Structure 1
Amino acid sequence: MVVVDDGDLAALLGDHADRHSVPGAALGIVGDGTVSVACHGVADVRLREPVTPETRFAIGSLTKSMVATVLARLAEAGRLSLDDPAVAHVPELVGSEWIGAVTLRDLLANRSGLPLRARLEFDFDGRRDESVDALSRMAADIGDAGPPMDFWSYTNAGWNLLGRAIEGATGLAWEDAMSRWLAEPGLHETSFGSSSDHRARASGHTMTAAGPVPAEPLRGRAYGPAGVGTLSTITDLLRFGAIHLDDSALAALRVVHASQAIHGWLDEWCLGWARFDWVGGQAWGWDGVVNGERSFLRILPEQRAAVALLTNSSSGRAMGRSLFTELMESLFGIGVPPLRLEAMTGAAGDLSRFAGVYAWPDRQIEVTVTGPGLTIRSERGAAEALPVDERIFVVDAADADNPTVTFADPDAGGRPRLLYDMLWGLPRTGEDDRWTGR
């Protein structure tokens, strides 16, 4: 049984929030039917309203875990099968060059091979409209994108297709279907997509040298299933965690489908959840990264517990790492491996094997050797990267979200075929090693 002292939980939350200059946060633990919640700080630095258990935060990509849950419930109800061809539920994909026999399960596993494009993954400003056909038009654009890819990569576009599949299977707008299929277990404080609901919500904040500055929230229905516009409270996230602890049918979503480890993010990917191989135990969960807000949910089935954290700061991931390290050890005796950011000269061996261009048709990262490390040039500019080990390089240790890049899938000569920038894979290209898809 999880025994939590509410005063100690509040002190822990406040300590880590202050340490990382997070204006407001909410922390919760559920175990054996017992719920403990602590809140700290303010929801908005301008209005100074305190964070409460009813304060709603943008949860970003934790929406993907909820989309996976609804699809599993629709499968259980006979509305679809996770092994159905995606095209059976997304009519805009009929005739697509890449879709082939791709299933809903493939999309959930991020292994569909859909063509990665910056204009489909990250064009939040260009797709801000809230029209009823926004998701359909996004699906059509993804269908027209080009030949398939043959490697694992996280993707927003694939989850937008899954939202469209929910519409196809239910005959409802994806937001309405999500609310309906998650309402029965009690998620009444979570809203999807744009909403006129004016209940208390946190504002995101970007950390600057002058302190936290309010950030404009992302908008756009086309990216809703990938995580734009979803709001939830700490109590609802704990209810969501409890659903996955109590419903044995949902354990199938925790089965590993891809073993691509990305430093600082995941050890393996399942279906809407990542698996974390911690010292003394395993955890499943996912994170949300959205303008000025960071969210976390961890499920520990062996301990019959779930832990959730919501923050309204761009420094929230740094806070989450330090807080979870202390909390998991003190409550469950589980060690969270530290984020490795100390450069070790020579750790990667011959650096020339990393040099090259890694690219999508509309996004490119160039890697060159510079002294003891690499220079990585992208649309964000040039940065020095120093080796941590044979595949991980630290680019900016102060970046709470993306301090490292990870190289993967080496050929017989040790030359990596992929570069992971955050969670997105970019294939190596070049005259001598041209990537041509499947």
Structure 2
Amino acid sequence: MKYQAVMENFLLRPLGIDPLFLSGAASAARTLGTCHVVQPGQRTARPVGLFLPASWAPASGLAGSAEDLIAFARLHLGTHSGSGALLDEKQRTEMCARVPAADAFGMADGWCLGLARYGSSDGDWLGHDGTVDGGTAHLRFHQQSGTAVALTTNATTGTLMWADLVDALHELGVPVGDYRPHVPATAAVSDADRFVGDYRNGDTYFSVRGHDNGSRLRLSDGAGLIADMTLHDELVFTARRVDADEAPYTGRFVPDPSTGRAALMQLGGRSARLATAA
């Protein structure tokens, strides 16, 4: 049985979700919204196409709405009518348990099995964030109160909108968990060359190169990401896309203690090992 058929018949349909896969046959009941990019310093949204290789389908090949995300939250909360058959209480507990050895730096306050943990004044919230070219998705749910919040957008500015939504909900007395990484002060770096190189994690690779005559660093990958990097103390960096107005990524370098040169780069929940020093 194909991956899409398994998802549709054993998960999505039982949750009341009419699936819309980004590859394969189109859905007769649903259409995909047009994705948009907003460039820095501009207020005009420009339509963009999706760059989504077939191998990425299990991670980002399914389109949906905020209502669909709430259905997933209700599954994990045990309040959906199909929860007992799809994910019993023992399995829900296992999926929501923190995995201590999993480092979620730059993404969340902790990892569970497929879910992230986000700190809050009333305890951790669970959920996940996701982005594609010109679109974003955010989900949070709180086991103790049974509260769930979801947002989907069709623009790169959706990450900024999510932060505004979380702040607004806090003002209304809903302490939604979110990850706001501590970013140290900007560092005065005279030896930025020790970070330059190609970093790999499986088939995913990142390239760090000098920019503006070597005065700054620029990050790129094989999927269209181009971002200017700002170095901070403690080897932390922020990377802001040059082609889209969205929240910056936060990552860090891990040095080789014998040389002081960067050996790993942590970004987006991945640790990429230095493959080639440039």
Q: TM class, shorter-chain normalised?
A: 0.7 to 0.9
Structure 1 counterpart of 2:20: 191
Between the aligned partners of 2:134 and 2:226, the Cα distance in structure 1 is 24
Structure 2 counterpart of 1:59: none
Matches within 5 A, 1:183-222: 183=12, 185-192=14-21, 193-201=23-31, 202-208=33-39, 209=42, 211-218=44-51, 221-222=54-55
Between the aligned partners of 1:266 and 1:308, the Cα distance in structure 2 is 16
Distance 1:222 1:369, change over 3 A: closer
Of 234, 237, 254, the match for 1:390? 234
Does the 8 Å contact 1:386/1:395 carry over to 2? yes
Structure 1 counterpart of 2:82: none
| Greater RCO, CA 8 A, separation 6+ | 1
Identity %: 22
Aligned partner letter, 1:207: V
Distance 1:357 1:323, change over 3 A: same
Structure 1 counterpart of 2:11: 182
Partner of 2:17, secondary structure, is coil
Of 261, 265, 270, the match for 1:419? 265
Distance 1:185 1:423, change over 3 A: same
Between the aligned partners of 2:239 and 2:64, the Cα distance in structure 1 is 33
Alignment size in residue pairs: 256
Structure 1 counterpart of 2:151: 309
Structure 2 counterpart of 1:260: 103
Over alpha carbons, which structure has the higher Rg?
Answer: 1
Partner of 1:309, secondary structure, is strand
Structure 2 runs not aligned, ≥5 long? 79-87
Q: CA deviation at 1:254?
A: 2.3
Does the 8 Å contact 2:199/2:206 carry over to 1? yes
Q: CA deviation at 1:419?
A: 1.1
Q: CA deviation at 1:410?
A: 4.1
Structure 2 counterpart of 1:223: 56
Between the aligned partners of 1:220 and 1:285, the Cα distance in structure 2 is 25
Aligned partner letter, 1:403: P
Between the aligned partners of 1:213 and 1:430, the Cα distance in structure 2 is 36
Give the TM-score taking structure 2 as reference length.
0.73
Between the aligned partners of 1:423 and 1:197, the Cα distance in structure 2 is 32
Structure 1 counterpart of 2:85: none
Structure 2 counterpart of 1:320: 162
Q: Is residue 269 from structure 1 mapped to residue 111 from structure 2 by the alignment?
A: yes
Partner of 1:396, secondary structure, is strand
Does the 8 Å contact 2:138/2:151 carry over to 1? yes
Higher strand share: 2
Higher helix share: 1
1:337-369 CA distances to partner (integer Å, 9 max, x unpaired)? 5455685345xx885695342423884524669
Q: Is residue 403 from structure 1 mapped to residue 272 from structure 2 by the alignment?
A: no
Aligned partner letter, 2:131: V
Does the 8 Å contact 2:199/2:276 carry over to 1? no
Between the aligned partners of 1:300 and 1:280, the Cα distance in structure 2 is 9
Give the TM-score taking structure 1 as reference length.
0.49
RMSD: 3.7
Q: CA deviation at 1:298?
A: 1.0
